[in-house]
Amino acid sequence: MTIKAVIFDLDGVIVSTDQYHYQAWKKMSDEEGIKFNETINNRLRGVSRMESLEIILEKAERTYTPEEKQALAERKNTYYRESLNEVKPEDMLPGAKHTIDELKKRGVKIAIGSSSKNTPTILKQIGLADAFDAVADGNDITRSKPDPEVFLLAAERLGVPPEECLVVEDAEAGVQAAIAGGMNVAAVGDAGLHSQDADYRLEQVDEILELI
């Protein structure tokens, strides 16, 4: 395996903002009288904001118009963005900073491939705004994972062929996106425990250093 670049998902791989997403969705759902819990929240991993909203609205007692749905999504994102002020470098997941630093020393190109439109804010908050050779996020794409668009865009911006990229993902939707893009994929976190399709299943992100 020749790996010239590593493309990281952000949330759940580099940093954990799961609790902030959950709290924001929970606040919005409570205001609307819609049942929302950790089990439902687990279904939202790796999917876009509007797709997440559709999952939540399965428990709604009424039908929402497209305009109302957009307003709900924006309300949730407002709550979430407000909470991002609390994110700090200490919120980086174990091994993440060491992995980034070591890959840079080895001359391996690194990128972020995230469906989140809040990627620039999060990277700034954790002190990694200028750490990556390329960033592709929810502001750049029209199709979220499991579509490979965000990873293919990251590879294009790195100037590295997809087959020479290793994607690091914590969600099954991201694993499938990497496979669809013709990339190698290492699963960590939840996907590391359960994915049947990832090339590698790891406990934490710094284990990829043994693969490259």
- How many Å apart are CA 31 and CA 44, to the nearest integer? 19
Q: What is the DSSP string of 122-182?
A: HHHHTT-TTS-SEEE-TTT-SS-TTSSHHHHHHHHHHT--GGGEEEEESSHHHHHHHHHTT
What lies within 8 Å, CB to CB, of 102 at 6+ separation is: 206, 209
CA distances to 126, 127, 146, 152 from 186, in Å: 23, 24, 15, 16
Contact 45, 12 (CB under 8 A): yes
DSSP-derived letter for residue 170 is S
Residues catalogued as catalytic: 9, 11
Residue 197's CB is within 10 A of a number of other CB atoms, namely: 12
- How many Å apart are CA 157 and CA 195, to the nearest integer? 28
Instruction: For residue 47, give the nearest of 112, 92, 114, 111 by alpha carbon.
Output: 114
